[in-house]
Amino acid sequence: MKKTAVFPLTLLLILLTACQRTQPIAATLVPTAVVQATNNPLPTTPPATISSTATASQTAVPDAAPTTLLNHPFADRTPFQSGLLPSEQAVLDQLPGATDYQMALTIEPGLTKINGRQQIRYTNQEKVKLTNLYFHLFPNILGGSITVEDVAVNNQAATPALEQGGSVLRVPLPTPLQPGAETAVSLTFHTTIPQDSGRNYGVFATLDNILALAHFYPMVAVYDDEGWNIAPPSEGGDVTYGDSSFFLVQITAPAAQTIATSGVVIDHISSGDTQTVTVAAGPMRDFYLASSDRFVSHSDTVNGITINSFAPQGMDAGAQLALETAVFAVQTYSTRFGPYPYTELDLVTTPTSALGVEYPGIIANAIRIYDSGDGTPNRNFLESTTAHEVGHQWFYGLIGNDQLDEPWLDESLTQYVTWLYYLDKYGEQGADGFYQSLEGRWESVGQTAVPIGQPVAEFSPIEYSAIVYGRGPIFLRELAATVGEETFARFLQHYYQQYRWGITTTADFQSLLETECACDLTEAFAAVNGR
């Protein structure tokens, strides 16, 4: 017998579900593998510095094992098998041009500095030759800083340049990279982590002995029909827009730290006061890491997937509620859309000012919703946030989109699927309670007809919350009623099948739905496009 979810009208601002921030709402992402140690738009922080002192070499063998950072050939993706369900491992042979990252990281004891060495293999999957590669340096606009040195392309020293106020690194290629060709770039980086919430909801910070390490490494920019996407993100909304990639990451950290990351642990060695953890994550759009000596874990298994819930000691009730929510969400979303492909999903608590943030294979919930002051969680916020962020594993994680230019494609859709979570778990009455929160969100701007599909930068903070997280999911529910609930449910399955691991646009979404319903939705999509 289903019980009714409690959604009093006084909690209408629960609209701030999931990846929402305390002003607008935006989603963020979180990685997977968890190890418990046994034993203003532009930054005010110091700009990045660069030096190129790498020793030149005339021969480039990007795929040879001795030349890779972690001594593992880029072309060999067997380390990623354990992170994918057996039924999903075929993807390892289906993305030959995906970018490969290898990183060796050292987390200093104070959790405020990361020293890293990175090597990537990049394949030109465009129809034009490329003369430069671009890397985002997000720490320089998130309240911390990152410096880069020893940059080399195919073992030849390169002279990079900083652009976009220090938030982007341009690496010139010695010869143009032809379509289908690949190159290897190596570099050293040093990242300083802020000890306050900083920008973008504190997704990159060390607070209360909890390290939230989002977007801390040089991240390859996306090249699409607009060219290189290197514009700095707005302070509201999500930070990244990424292609599906493979990450092999070796992390050296204090032994007392419990580490949760994207992907799964494939090796763990403890030695005295330190531990070295090797993680394989992919295909994923980003790599995230959270760490603390306060974390206690709770775990469950569903559909062959291990779900880990981490929270500080004394917050067991919240950790258990988040775990139970994630288990049900994985079941219902897998049935409705298509399988969650990874063998692990992690939930962590951080002092983020957002309610939650999504990352591939991991989500970060705000620690404040785990304890209402009496040791019990805020059930409404914690359940809705967790259900929303788990939904992002499908919409943003598996099916990518430009989160800066078309945030509705993942945020509005994930709000809609959160409504489906409540419908499946609590029935119509419980789903109606959540739906009222969406209506209340839109009502905060008087239900103005601001186009849903605008870029983040074109919304005011209150509009972003009201339109993307309120009007957007309401539009999708009405759209489902227009084309028929069964047709829309079938469309979401086909959407998953056609676009997972790739990147979609509003035009793709509309076109596929029109094919599914055999109808013209131009007039309906005026709410999105503003036409």
CATH code for the domain of 416: 1.10.390.10
**What is the rounded CA–CA span in Å between residue 335 and residue 329?**
10
Quote the pLDDT of residue 19.
52
Distances (CA, A) of 298 to 158, 224, 319, 328, 421: 47, 41, 7, 15, 22
Element (H, E) at 156: strand 156-157
| Domain-terminating residue out of 273, 292, 311 | 292
Q: Which residues of 279-316 are buried (b: 16+ CB within 10 A; e: fewer)?
A: bbbbbbbbbbbbbbebbbbbeeebeebbbbbbbbeebb
Query: Residue 444's CB: how many other CB atoms inside 10 A?
Result: 17
> Does residue 286 sit in the same domain as residue 425?
no
% of the chain with per-residue pLDDT over 90:
84
Read off the tokens for 176: 């143009």
For the stretch 160-175, pLDDT in tens is 999 999 999 999 999 9
Q: Is residue 377 part of a domain?
A: no
Q: Is residue 229 part of a domain?
A: yes
Quote the pLDDT of residue 51.
35
Read off the tokens for 429: 């009455």
E strands present in 257-398: 258-261, 264-271, 274-284, 289-292, 295-302, 305-312, 344-350, 356-359, 362-366
The dihedral over CA atoms of 244, 234, 452, 126, expressed in degrees to the nearest 10, equals -30
Q: Is residue 459 part of a domain?
A: yes
pLDDT band at 197 (very low <50, low <70, confident <90, very high): confident
Q: Is residue 111 part of a domain?
A: yes
Q: Is residue 310 part of a domain?
A: no
Q: Is residue 307 part of a domain?
A: no
Q: Is residue 418 part of a domain?
A: yes
For the stretch 475-530, pLDDT in tens is 999 999 999 999 999 999 999 999 999 999 999 999 999 999 999 999 999 999 98
Comparing CA positions, the residue from 251, 278, 276, 280 lying closest to residue 263 is: 280
Comparing CA positions, the residue from 137, 132, 222 lying closest to residue 504 is: 222
Give the bridge partners for 254, in sequence order. Answer: 274
For the stretch 385-429, pLDDT in tens is 999 999 999 999 999 999 999 999 999 999 999 999 999 999 999
Domain that holds residue 186: 34-292
Amino acid making up residue 467: I
CB 320 within 8 A of CB 311: no
Structural domains counted in the chain: 2
| Domain-terminating residue out of 236, 264, 292 | 292
pLDDT band at 236 (very low <50, low <70, confident <90, very high): confident
CB 356 within 8 A of CB 365: yes
| Domain-terminating residue out of 292, 309, 328 | 292
Residue 128 has pLDDT above 90, yes or no: yes
**What is the rounded CA–CA span in Å between residue 53 and residue 151?**
7
Comparing CA positions, the residue from 201, 196, 253 lying closest to residue 366 is: 201
Quote the pLDDT of residue 531.
63
Q: State the CATH number of the domain containing residue 270.
A: 2.60.40.1730
Q: Is residue 254 part of a domain?
A: yes
Query: Residue 15's CB: how many other CB atoms inside 10 A?
Result: 25
Read off the tokens for 300: 């469950």
Separation of CA 175 from chain center: 33
Query: Which residue, chain included where needed, has tokens 């802020």?
Result: 194
> Does residue 83 sit in the same domain as residue 211?
yes
**What is the rounded CA–CA span in Å between residue 311 and residue 317?**
10
For the stretch 99-109, pLDDT in tens is 999 999 999 99
pLDDT band at 221 (very low <50, low <70, confident <90, very high): very high
Q: What are phi and psi of 325, to 5 degrees?
A: -65, -45
**What is the rounded CA–CA span in Å between residue 244 and residue 236?**
23
Comparing CA positions, the residue from 374, 456, 368 lying closest to residue 412 is: 456
> Does residue 282 sit in the same domain as residue 416?
no
> Does residue 283 sit in the same domain as residue 412?
no
Query: Which residue, chain included where needed, has tokens 């799964």?
Result: 264
